[in-house]
Amino acid sequence: MDTNTAGVEQTANTGQLPGWDAVDEQVLEAYRRNRESTDGVVADYIPILGAVDPELFGVSVAEVDGGVHVAGDADVEFSIQSISKAFVYALVAEEFGHDEVGERVGVNNTGLPFNSVIAVELNGGHPMNPMVNAGAIATTALMPGATAAEKWEHIRSGLSAFAGRQLQMDGVVYGSEAETNQRNQAIARLLQSYGRIDGDPLEMVDVYTRQCALLVSARDLAVMGATLADGGVNPVTGNRVISADVCRDTLSVLASTGLYERSGEWLFDIGLPGKSGVAGGIVTVAPGKGAIGTFSPRLDSAGNSVRGQRATAYLSRALGLNIFASGVHGSIDGNKQGSTP
């Protein structure tokens, strides 16, 4: 992946963010250094997504103390799309617990695109993980609620609790996807044939399509992610949304599957759990510290926002977020050598 981070030194992960002004400056720098890029293409397999202004670009970081930094178009709303999968999974894991949801939906990467039918076939009908469409539709079907309408209401209010404000569905995005989502309908029918989905499969696809059409901003994504970084408490509202155990489980699923078949490259370059969506959003979580929300509609071939990945790669380095980047114990800047034996 071209992270546009040549010359940016990896700061060691010290367990803390630098001070407010330093984070503010780096958020602005992540925006500035990637603003001009026009790499990638806007998704248009959901027709209405093709109508977005491709120049929009927003970056936000929310800290676990509730402070939020923003640069660029961080308050412009767009549909959450696949990023909803991470938060719906967390809500379902809260209900069912580690073992059951782990067994029913799975936690392993398929290595195949998010809308793969072959992945379901290759794995004997097991959805494999909740971040691809098959697993996400099966997860949505596990949401509490006797009817599709009740499940949808639980999803909307649950994701709103993560964001700390009432999220609205974009009816036009929903309509555009509902008319063209025959592939997701086929995946749900296939899961049904393997006994891997509860309830009416087409109704569950409809709820899933609604959840994907919820409107968020880069700022919202940062706050939603910061809730996962903060042991399940929304740092802005102070309300507990999920348990700390479910945060841990959700972030481990994101680490291996959040960027689809690019998840390995993402972990290699950025070293943090993240989740992308085809409208151009990415949320990335630094456990115990905070989260990054980005929005930029042009995508790479796997469906991940190009400028969002680059801004996140920059911040991971500059803010010392990469969970694999240690320094030498006791050294001042964490980068000095130890003594040679």
Which active-site residues does the annotation give?
82, 85, 208, 260, 278
Residue 273 within binding range of ligand GLN, rule CB under 6 A: no
* Choice between 69 and 307, CB closer to ligand GLN: 307
Q: Could you say which of 63, 177, 206, 230 contacts ligand GLN (CB under 6 A)? A: 177
Q: Could you say which of 3, 34, 81, 139 contacts ligand GLN (CB under 6 A)? A: 81
Closest residue to ligand GLN: CB criterion: 82
Minimum gap (Å) between residue 303 Cβ and ligand GLN: 5
Q: Could you say which of 277, 280, 290, 308 contacts ligand GLN (CB under 6 A)? A: 277
Q: Could you say which of 231, 303, 308, 320 contacts ligand GLN (CB under 6 A)? A: 303
Binding to ligand GLN in span 123-162, by CB under 6 A: 133
Three-state SS for the chain is CCCCCCCCCCCCCCCCCCCHHHHHHHHHHHHHCCCCCCCCEECCCCHHHHHCCCCCCEEEEEECCCCEEEEECCCCCEECCCHHHHHHHHHHHHHHCHHHHHHHHCCCCCCCCCCCCHHHHHCCCCCCCCCCHHHHHHHHHCCCCCCHHHHHHHHHHHHHHHHCCCCCECHHHHHHHHHHCHHHHHHHHHHHHCCCCCCCHHHHHHHHHHHHCEEECHHHHHHHHHHHHCCCECCCCCCECCCHHHHHHHHHHHHHHCCHHHHHHHHHHCCCCEEECCCCEEEEEECCCEEEEEECCEECCCCCEHHHHHHHHHHHHHCCCCCCCCCCCCCCCCCCCCCCC
Residue 278 within binding range of ligand GLN, rule CB under 6 A: yes
String marking each residue 213-252 x if it binds ligand GLN according to CB under 6 A: ----------------------------------------
Minimum gap (Å) between residue 97 Cβ and ligand GLN: 26
Binding residues vs ligand GLN (CB under 6 A): 81-82, 114-115, 133, 177, 184, 212, 277-278, 303
